Amino acid sequence: MIPAHVIEKKREGESIDPGTLRAFLIGYLDGVVEEYQMSAFLMAVLFRGLDPAELDAVVDTMIGSGATLDLGALERPRVDKHSTGGVGDKVSLALAPLAAELGLYVPMMSGRGLGHSGGTLDKLEAIPGFRTDLDLERFHAVLGDIGCAMIGQTAEIAPLDRRLYDLRSVTGTVPAIPLISASIMSKKLAEDLTALVLDVKVGSGAFLPDEGRALTLARTMVAIGTARGVRTEAWLSAMDRPLGSAVGNGLETVEALECLAGAGPDDVRALVVHLAASMVQAGGDATSLAELRRRAATALDDGSALRRMERLVEAQGGDPRIVTEPTRIARAPETAVVEADRSGVVVQVEPRALGDAVVAMGGGRVRLGEAIDPRVGFRVLVRPGDRVMAGDPLAEVHAADAGGMALGAAGVRAAVRITEAAEPIVARPLVSHRITAAGVEVVEGD
């Protein structure tokens, strides 16, 4: 295997023999292939793509580069969920204990935020003492005892993906759909799952704003999982506005706990309930989604999912009092309300502007490994379609200092668009498409 020849073939759009491609990837891990050579290859993939045989080789090499879990001794279905991320997406924190309460094992390996999109690990670590760095032995023990466990990708799982992810983040090659698919699926397939549910965000606050590209990503990931014997389905969900009202790690953690207590914003609850039902059905339950959603809603309303979250927090080293007393989560020292400067109708709450503002305020990162302030962020008080008067509150800004407050206020002004004249409001449905091995289905309301 000559690295330059591999790069040249992909540059010209030619197919690379899977064995040669595996040798190239392993060579990168072993130091035979240099970083500048891998960077060139990744850029070629961005423009030329990967054919199915090449994509299979990349996924299998990523999985085989590290350890895989063996959860076969667990007697109930093992189902995880992955979101492609967005602004205000705190779903995983409520979903994992809820799905466990519904009878699943949920081995959830999550990531940190990068750019305008927040990360599940950052939200969990807003809970004092909560450990997301469990080794695989402890992870397995918590999973078996509680029914769910939530950690970050360990050094043992898919180390090739970790190396490539870091390189993609600094070489302008993150948007390559084959590489996104391989990165996500290699980690999930290492979890020894029965089934996997994917929440693919679409809209201006999503990683892939365009519906066509989001569908391509969803179909690609479903095909990868299905080919390896894991029942895999994806849902396209809206990210043309923030999910819920809280944006920022600590505030989102509070809102997720409110959801588990049977309260919180309607859209957060609806998506959590929907995905929980989908996970149970993907795990092999033939009950209708409507009935499974009813069961999930009951587990939120009767406190059983919240109690499971208490057990999870305690098992992973956190303060379980936080679950029923979320005001114990650290708050930012500066809080102010941004008011409407004119009367009219809110026609847009742009999620990207709010996500970028959180990063500017210190609540997100632009480089891997940066420290963040989990206290900063927003509580958005309006939704598209709301009529407001001048002086009405638009959002609460939570900041570390006066400079952060100014950045936050500017973010709200950039995000919330108010018009005086009548203007049609086009909002995506919360869930719009279901993607399975059988194809793509447009979701109708029920």
- What confidence score (pLDDT) does residue 96 get? 98
Give pLDDT < 50 ranges for the chain. Answer: none
164-201 pLDDT per residue, tens: 988 987 888 888 999 999 999 999 999 999 999 999 99
Domains of the chain with CATH codes: 3-49 (1.20.970.10), 79-326+430-442 (3.40.1030.10), 331-419 (3.90.1170.30)
pLDDT score for 427 = 84
> pLDDT digits over 20-33, tens only?
999 999 999 999 99
| SS3 label, residue 184 | helix
Nearest CA-CA partner of 228 in 64, 382, 373: 64
Q: What is the pTM of this model?
A: 0.94
pLDDT (tens digit per residue) in 104-130: 999 999 877 666 777 899 999 999 999
> Long-range CB contacts (< 8 A, 24+ apart) of 419-426?
419/344, 419/345, 419/347, 420/342, 420/343, 420/344, 420/345, 422/345, 423/345, 423/347, 425/345, 425/347, 425/384, 425/385
Active site residues: 82, 161, 168, 183, 187
- The pLDDT value recorded for residue 424 is 78
How far is it, in rounded angstroms, from Cα 417 to Cα 346? 6
